[in-house]
Amino acid sequence: MDAVGDGVRELLVPLLHRDKVTYHWKEETPHSSYLNSFVVGKFGVKKEEVDGISLEYYFPEGKRNDVPRYFGETAKMMKVFGELTGIKYPYAKYAQTTVEDFIYGGMENISATTLATTYYPDERSEEDFQVSYSREGQNAVNLVAHELAHQWFSDLVTCADWTHAWLNEGFASYFQCLYLEKEKGVDLLRWDMSLKAELYFDEEETSYRRPIVERNYVYPDDLFDSATYEKGAWMIHQLRYVLGDDLFFKGVQEYLRQFSRENAETHDLRKALERVSGETLEEHFEEFFFKAGYPEFEIEYSWDEVGSTANLTVRQRQLTDEQTPIFRLPCDIVFYTRKGRMKRRVLLSSAEEKLTFELGSKPRIVEFDPEEWILKKVKFGKSFQLLANQLRESIDASSRARAAADLGSTKNNAVLAPLKEAALTDPSWIVRARALEALGEVGTEEALTSILSLGIPENRRVRRALARALANFKDRGGYKLLAELLLSDESPYLQCEAAISLAKAQADGALQLLKKAMKINSPNFTLTEACLDAAG
């Protein structure tokens, strides 16, 4: 048996004449009591030392070979977070212990995080990146990064009360994205943020709308929702945009230094950012943290040949009330003309804004927040040619992906050629996947022919998009390919996607295939679960 606690293990005392020992752990850093922990069990143990910090991994012995897949990036994460926060990892050791039947994905106990065993990637699923077929952003890398970030945002500085829980969870959720940005590029950060937006929008549409800072609740657990996690991360992302990287990160560092080993509330963060930036942020915080909702934009564009001007009408269409205002925020509008890429920042603050830009020549592309800094929904009526140009030429993968989705929503065969080209040749797997899904949204026989002509993509995440696309064709030729993906693909999570798509497509013989696929081995019986969901 082994025991893992907070801080440093000072003594291990065998008890005379008894098959027992006493462990003594000491954590010298002042901290909130909910961060205390001890775990007792039979574990395999691996340890390493990085920059004087002991990294310790406790795991079920049967998972020994999978430990590097789960925890292998911990040292890199620790370095990245230390650089971003300006504070080296603040404790003597960092233990990560995985336990069975844990009620959360992870819990950020001070210097001794507890994690669920269900996140172990095995050899077959290691390259999948996603560990849940239903919630793509949840995986071992994100989970480990999230809980490690909590060592700064929750443990070193703790929210004053649960009203301000987003200071813990929003920062941890955003810092896991910052790690992706540092290690794998900004496109992956934007993709992960888009998944967070979808989760938050879904919660608002199906459950309730509330401010991030919510004073009215019955149980603290009521606040641990998408407004705290996903929207919290997005509002931090927006603050980064409003202030710029230099001032934003200096402000976050000031906040951590001032409230290290203490409690903080939302206005403490605002004041730290204001001291560093010289900006007044009270109105911004009031709208985005103490009010609810998000901007829903409707945009009209026209070109004036005589004046060589681009004209945009930007309307905020969200339902406004005491909780949801007309939001005031900056936004980048980008034009591609003969002179190149031109970015113009505007301040949006009214229900309707009429904007005019002198460009000199008609733009080939018109983009609204192409770098995805703003949490929003957008309806932007663009011509086929503008969208096709955007899909082919925009330098931002997130903008190309949005163009693909907008083309697919037209459900017109005219869009098949640019979508097929993007699905086959775009350098970003994110865009290739979105283009495939858009072909599925078109839903015609010609669209299905285009999809099948592309073959099976090499990239696993693009193959998952292929399976999702085929769900739109009701037993019209995609059945054979879905069956092949379900029964023989090397990715267990792609197989899950194929199972769900077979059911959605109402394919003849789908139930028999699902029964057969249920017997295929997969991590944590993920495929079995997917087949049961599909059959139900």
pLDDT, tens digit only, all 536 positions of the chain: 889 999 998 877 777 667 788 888 899 999 999 999 999 999 999 999 999 999 999 999 999 988 998 999 999 999 999 999 999 999 999 999 999 999 899 999 999 999 999 888 776 665 664 444 334 445 788 999 999 999 999 999 999 999 999 999 999 999 999 999 999 999 999 999 999 999 999 999 999 999 999 999 999 999 999 999 999 999 999 999 999 999 999 999 999 999 999 999 999 999 999 999 999 999 999 999 999 999 999 999 999 999 999 999 999 999 999 999 999 999 999 999 999 999 999 999 999 999 999 999 999 999 999 999 999 999 999 999 999 999 999 999 999 999 999 999 998 999 999 999 999 999 999 999 999 999 999 999 999 999 999 999 999 999 999 999 999 998 777 889 999 999 999 988 899 999 999 999 988 889 999 999 999 988 878 899 999 999 98
Whose tokens are 């919290």? That residue is: 232
pTM of the model: 0.94
- The letter for the amino acid at 219 is Y
**Could you tell me the strand order of the sheet in which 377-380 lies?**
352-358, 309-316, 296-304, 377-380
Backbone angles phi, psi at 264, to 5 degrees: -140, 155
Backbone angles phi, psi at 22, to 5 degrees: -110, 125
Element (H, E) at 115: strand 112-116
Closest to 331 in 3D by CA, of 378, 279, 287, 369: 369
CA dihedral 202, 204, 207, 213 (to 10 degrees): 130
Q: Which residues contact 189 (CB under 8 A, 6 or more apart)?
A: 177, 178, 180, 181
Closest to 523 in 3D by CA, of 485, 486, 495, 492: 492
**Residue 286: strand, helix, or coil:** helix
* CB-CB contact of 92 with 79 (8 Å): no
Q: Which residues contact 279 (CB under 8 A, 6 or more apart)?
A: 242, 243, 247, 273
Count CB neighbours of 421 within 10 A.
Answer: 14
Question: What pLDDT score was predicted for residue 23?
Answer: 85
Q: Which residues contact 180 (CB under 8 A, 6 or more apart)?
A: 141, 142, 145, 188, 189, 192
Task: Round to whole Å and give the CA distance between 37 and 254.
Answer: 29
Task: Round to whole Å and give the CA distance between 233 and 191.
Answer: 13
Task: Round to whole Å and give the CA distance between 165 and 154.
Answer: 9
Helix 266-277, helix 230-243: angle, nearest 10: 20
Backbone angles phi, psi at 443, to 5 degrees: 80, 5
Helix 492-504, helix 510-517: angle, nearest 10: 160
Question: What pLDDT score was predicted for residue 135?
Answer: 42
Give buried/exposed letters for 238-258 (b at 16+ CB in 10 A, else e). Answer: bbbbbbeeebbbbbbbbbbee
Query: In the chain, what are the domains?
Result: 1-74+84-120 (no CATH), 156-293 (1.10.390.10), 296-381 (2.60.40.1910), 384-455 (1.25.10.10), 467-536 (no CATH)
CA dihedral 413, 417, 421, 423 (to 10 degrees): 10
- The letter for the amino acid at 209 is R
Q: Which residues contact 33 (CB under 8 A, 6 or more apart)?
A: none
* CB-CB contact of 98 with 63 (8 Å): yes
Question: What pLDDT score was predicted for residue 316?
Answer: 99
Give Cα separations from 492 to 33, 117, 141, 495 (angstroms).
40, 18, 18, 5
Strands 112-116 and 93-99, by their bridges, are parallel
Question: What pLDDT score was predicted for residue 134?
Answer: 35
Question: What pLDDT score was predicted for residue 337?
Answer: 97
Closest to 382 in 3D by CA, of 298, 297, 296, 301: 301
Task: Round to whole Å and give the CA distance between 341 and 357.
Answer: 14
Task: Round to whole Å and give the CA distance between 96 and 106.
Answer: 10
- The letter for the amino acid at 311 is N
CA 123 to chain centre: 24
Task: Round to whole Å and give the CA distance between 351 and 230.
Answer: 26
Count CB neighbours of 349 within 10 A.
Answer: 13
Element (H, E) at 262: strand 262-264
Strands 329-337 and 340-348, by their bridges, are antiparallel
